[in-house]
Structure 1
Amino acid sequence: MTGTHLKWKNWAHVTKLDPDKHLDAAAVEAVATSGTDAILLSGTLNVTRENLADLREQVEDYGIPLVVEPADPEGAVFEGVDLLFVPSVLNTPDARWVVGKHQQWALACPEIPWEQVVPEAYIVLNPASAVGRVTRAVCDLKPAEVAAYARCAEHYFHFPIVYIEYSGTYGDPAVVRAASEAITGASLYYGGGIDSAERAAEMGRYADTIVVGNAVYEKGVETLKATVKAVQ
């Protein structure tokens, strides 16, 4: 557990699997052995403790680090995972997604294993995405505005991860570059629309870690492997 907690900063490629989507056993094995650094169990809609636990059971025997990123902190599952990446969405007017739901989580679950928790500062930039709609994120931001959020995340709030989330669409490399240049110690994660080696390499120039999700379901494991090779 401790080793995984220290090594996450060195991950270049993370694969996101959605509990609300299905992969057969062969595909799960191919993902787990693709060379990706970790598997992130995460989704926005229709994520339950049951389907999250089912997905965890599918991937837990491969020896790859497992991370749960709860859509709602109150739905977090601790058992059988290495880390919890817990997001706060910075660019929303709804404070529930910054700290409110987290406070409710701490109230309902006083025994949170805080040594497993890694806070993430989310900057959500696709208004059509489920996470954009649910959190009411303000997405029409210029690169300088995103960079300012990133600086606040690192220097004011001391988030260890700044996550640029385009969720389902390929983002603007200039935005990711601006965020990268704004921070010095936090790790920059990028997720959204990476469905080729070329896109992985482009965003990998600026982000410390790229997250690949939809491509696994839409284009298959060979595409995933190509994105791994592009950044490692």
Structure 2
Amino acid sequence: MNWKEWRHITKLDPDKILGDGAIAEIAASGTDVLMLSGTLDVTPEKLADLYDQVRDSGLPVVVEPADPTGARFDGMDLVFVPTVFNAAHPMFVCGLHKEWVQHFPIDWNKVVGEAYVVLNPASSVGKLTHAKCDLAPEEVAAYAVVAEKYYRMPVFYIEYSGTYGNPAVTKAVSEVAEDIVVFYGGGINSGEKAAEMGQYADAIVVGNAVYDAGPAVLKDTVRAVR
């Protein structure tokens, strides 16, 4: 499994409910991977329940914990761990990560670091991290260079979380990114939006639309980035 070749990521929230038959429909959509991820009220029990639902989908399954101390390795193909570059508190940059390393066993062969820039102040992750979201495209691009050249992060994640973002931001990041893989997530609920962001990002992430519009929306977004 070469995660660097993914073009379409489906993000599923352990705190949300999928309808009957949804997993089979998601698996048939053409998406590359299932990412289990949520910001609020994600318990080990809810994560385990969601994993049990998707484990036989035939797709790679990865987890992206809001807090690295909540990472699960059992059964997961990879663990994507965010560090929020524009968080107002260092706890979300490296503090939680230090607690994770100090107190939990880690399978480093499965860990992929993500440099996050959160750009929706109304989102749960924006509120939780007190992220500075009023950033110009060139500022976000500068974060991407810092992430790649200074911190040597493998992923740069542009996160609008629940709202459709500014394509100029994703374009600016794409123009400076060399080896770092660019993910875009937020508000993609149509093929048109997927195509617009997909021309700049290496992979798009579709999450809320699966719950708001149903899994059928995935086929249009997958086709748009192939």
Task: State the TM-score bracket (shorter-chain normalisation).
Answer: over 0.9
Q: Aligned partners of 2:205 and 2:87: how far apart in 1?
A: 22
- Structure 1 residue 40 and structure 2 residue 30: aligned? no
Distance 1:165 1:92 in 2: 12
Look up the equivalent residue of 1:52 and give its one-letter code. Answer: L
RMSD between aligned residues: 0.7
**C-alpha separation between the residues in 2 aligned to 1:134 and 1:14?**
23
| Residue 169, structure 1, aligned to residue 163, structure 2 | yes
Distance in structure 1 (CA, Å) of the matches to 2:87 and 2:96: 14
> How far apart are the structure 1 equivalents of 2:172 and 2:128?
26
Shift of 1:145: 0.5
How big is the shift at 1:25? Answer: 3.8
Residues 32-78 of structure 1: CA distance to partner in whole angstroms, max 9, x if unpaired? 22110000000000001000010001001122111100011111111
Structure 1: any 5+ residue segments left out of the alignment?
Answer: none
Matched, 1:28 2:12: no
Equivalent residue number for residue 61 of structure 1: 56
Separation in 1, partners of 2:83, 2:41: 20
Paired residue secondary structure (1:81): coil
Query: Between Structure 1 and Structure 2, which shows a larger proportion of helix residues?
Result: 1
1:13 deviates by 0.1
Normalising by structure 2, we get a TM-score of: 0.99
CA distance in structure 1 between the partners assigned to 2:148 and 2:35 by the alignment: 22
Q: How many matched pairs?
A: 226
Please list, as runs of the form range in 1=range in 2, the aligned pairs for 1:13-24 lying within 5 A after superposition.
13-24=8-19
Letter in 2 for 1:179: V
Distance in 2 (CA, whole Å) between partners of 1:215 and 1:93 is 29
Moved over 2 A (4+): none
Normalising to structure 1: TM-score of the pair?
0.96
| SS of 1:128 mapped into structure 2 | coil
Identity of aligned residues (%): 59
User: Aligned pair 1:145/2:150, yes or no?
Assistant: no
1:144: Cα distance to partner?
0.6
Pairing 1:128–2:125 present? no
The 8 Å contact of residues 25 and 58 in structure 1, kept in 2 or not, is answered as: no
Give distance in 1, aligned partners of 2:42 and 2:59: 22
SS in 2 for 1:24: coil
Q: Residue deviations 1:88-122, cap 9 Å, x none?
A: 0001121011111001011111x200000000000
Paired position in structure 1 for 2:67: 72
Q: Distance in 2 between matches of 1:71 and 1:222?
A: 27
Q: Specify the alignment match of 1:222 in structure 2.
A: 216
1:86: Cα distance to partner?
0.1
